[in-house]
């Protein structure tokens, strides 16, 4: 898409939606995220994918939107990390849900949405995305908007074109304009408490100089457009490495108490012999940001495991993770809510074994883990 067209979209968004200030928006205080009264707010989120080829929050062909959100409330999540693709807001902004489902030949998904959420079919992807945000807010769930990819697809691989700035599907100008548009579009939604600028930077093109250049520029643009939202910055190497910040610190005082970092932690993220060694590696790469002279909050924006219990490495990992996350008292987001995808890697109704919900979107995949997870929820 031409840059001029993208700029027109952004300018229109500012004119139409402006910037609205809400006292209830979150900010930071040292290593903590706090509310307007200075009380700590611990994000206990799950990720809900909306960045795949259908450009629609998963599962809306299985259950009514309000029922899915009610399940989140029942499970005591206070937050959703809602993923989105850059092209949703630049190249496909006028496409309707029906048009995309028809183009993808997802007749079964379309039929399910017609039964469970019929109003969505005539909406554009942006309208449908907003409908999800509105329902989350209606039921008291906070939202972190996560720019997951540019080209709507499953993530991630080194050579998938979405990994780092100037990759085939990662034009920095288009990314910046999409961030600004989204920041403006949802600035009046006080349930939208944070914007994560990019998921899992990676690949052969990644380097620290470009990170400082593009990430900080994108963060500044979001902060100007919506100064109320938390600005969440990811690291390198699939968001497992923020260690370079030891050499060149980003001054948190420049961000009016809105700067948060994020990291990811899976069984394959760290190769160590013991749980203690594993936690020490994660500390050296990311957790250190919570300490020192200028501590900042760290959001563990993705962790997860095979919830069927059939993967021994994942089983060992999750026990270690629960120990580390409790020790460092992190805000977090579990991957993932969805029990299945409309389509993933060309397979229809692909089951997500990392999902909280089973493929039917009705039953809990691993009740024992959900009980264990309660230990990490905020204490009220």
pLDDT in tens, 19-39: 333 336 899 999 999 999 999
- Please state which CATH number belongs to domain 3-7+27-376: 3.20.20.80
pLDDT at 24: 61
Q: Are 232 and 144 in contact (CB under 8 A)?
A: yes
Distances (CA, A) of 332 to 297, 313, 371: 11, 21, 16
CA torsion 350-197-237-376 (nearest 10°) is -70
pLDDT at 292: 86
Q: What is the chain's alpha carbon radius of gyration, rounded to the nearest angstrom?
A: 19
pLDDT at 221: 97
Q: Are 193 and 142 in contact (CB under 8 A)?
A: yes
pLDDT at residue 171 is higher than 90: yes
pLDDT at 240: 98
Query: What is the CB neighbour count within 10 angstroms for residue 314?
Result: 21
Q: How far apart are CA 102 and CA 88, in angstroms?
A: 16
Q: What is the DSSP letter of 309?
A: S
pLDDT at 234: 98
> Which are the contacts of 340, defined by CB distance < 8 A and separation ≥ 6?
58, 59, 62, 349, 350, 351, 352, 355, 359, 361
Q: Are 349 and 315 in contact (CB under 8 A)?
A: no
Peptide bond into 156 cis (omega under 30): yes
pLDDT at residue 349 is higher than 60: yes
* 3-class state of residue 295 by DSSP: coil
Q: Which residues of 334-348 are buried (b: 16+ CB within 10 A; e: fewer)?
A: bbbbbbbbbbbeeee
Distances (CA, A) of 77 to 11, 140, 374: 35, 10, 9
Q: Are 115 and 63 in contact (CB under 8 A)?
A: no
Q: Are 196 and 108 in contact (CB under 8 A)?
A: no
What are the structure tokens assigned to 215, written together?
């990430």
* 3-class state of residue 95 by DSSP: coil
> Strands (DSSP E) along 178-265, which ranges?
192-196, 230-234, 259-265
Average pLDDT, the chain: 93
> Which are the contacts of 335, defined by CB distance < 8 A and separation ≥ 6?
46, 47, 302, 303, 304, 354
What are the structure tokens assigned to 333, written together?
């987001």
> How would residue 380 be classed by pLDDT, with cut points 50, 70 and 90?
low
The model's pTM is 0.94
pLDDT at 10: 43
Sequence spans of domains, the chain: 3-7+27-376
> Which are the contacts of 305, defined by CB distance < 8 A and separation ≥ 6?
266, 267, 311, 314, 315, 317, 318, 321, 354
Tell whether the torsion through CA atoms of 19, 258, 246 and 47 is positive or negative.
negative
pLDDT at residue 225 is higher than 60: yes
Work out the end-to-end distance of the chain between its first and last CA atoms, rounded to an integer number of angstroms: 48
pLDDT at 379: 74
Give the residue-averaged pLDDT of 149-167: 97
Give the residue-averaged pLDDT of 298-312: 97
> How would residue 228 be classed by pLDDT, with cut points 50, 70 and 90?
very high
């Amino acid at each position: 898409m031409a840059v001029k067209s993208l700029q027109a979209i952004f300018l229109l968004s500012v004119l139409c939606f402006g910037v609205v200030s809400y006292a209830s928006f979150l900010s930071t205080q040292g290593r903590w995220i706090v509310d307007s009264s200075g009380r700590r707010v611990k994000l206990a989120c799950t990720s809900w994918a909306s960045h795949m080829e259908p450009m629609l929050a998963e599962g809306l062909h299985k259950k009514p939107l309000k029922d899915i959100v009610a399940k989140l409330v029942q499970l005591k999540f206070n937050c959703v990390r809602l993923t989105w693709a850059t092209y949703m807001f630049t190249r496909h902004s006028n496409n309707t849900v029906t048009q995309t489902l028809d183009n993808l030949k997802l007749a079964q998904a379309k039929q399910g949405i017609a039964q469970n959420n019929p109003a969505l079919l005539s909406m554009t992807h942006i309208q449908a995305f907003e409908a999800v945000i509105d329902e989350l807010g209606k039921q008291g769930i906070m939202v972190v908007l996560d720019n997951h990819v540019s080209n709507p697809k499953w993530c991630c691989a080194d050579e998938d074109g979405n990994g780092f700035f100037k990759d085939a599907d990662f034009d920095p100008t288009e990314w910046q304009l999409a961030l600004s548009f989204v920041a403006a579009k949802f600035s009046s939604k006080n349930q939208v408490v944070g914007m994560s600028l990019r998921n899992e930077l990676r690949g052969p093109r990644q380097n620290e100089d470009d990170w400082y250049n593009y990430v900080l520029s994108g963060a500044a643009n979001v902060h100007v457009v919506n100064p109320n939202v938390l600005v969440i910055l990811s690291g390198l190497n699939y968001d497992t490495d923020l260690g370079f910040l030891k050499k060149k610190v980003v001054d948190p005082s420049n961000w009016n108490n809105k700067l948060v970092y994020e990291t990811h932690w899976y069984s394959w993220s760290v190769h160590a012999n013991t749980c203690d060694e594993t936690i020490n590696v994660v500390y050296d790469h990311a957790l250190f940001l919570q300490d020192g002279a200028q501590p900042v909050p760290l959001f563990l924006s993705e962790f997860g495991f095979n919830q069927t219990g059939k993967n021994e490495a994942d089983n060992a990992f999750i026990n270690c993770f629960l120990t580390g996350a409790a020790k460092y008292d992190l805000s977090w987001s579990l991957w993932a809510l969805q029990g299945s995808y409309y389509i993933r890697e060309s397979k229809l109704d692909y089951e997500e074994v990392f999902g909280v919900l089973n493929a039917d979107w009705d039953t809990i995949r691993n009740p024992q883990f959900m009980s264990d997870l309660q230990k990490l929820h905020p204490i009220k």
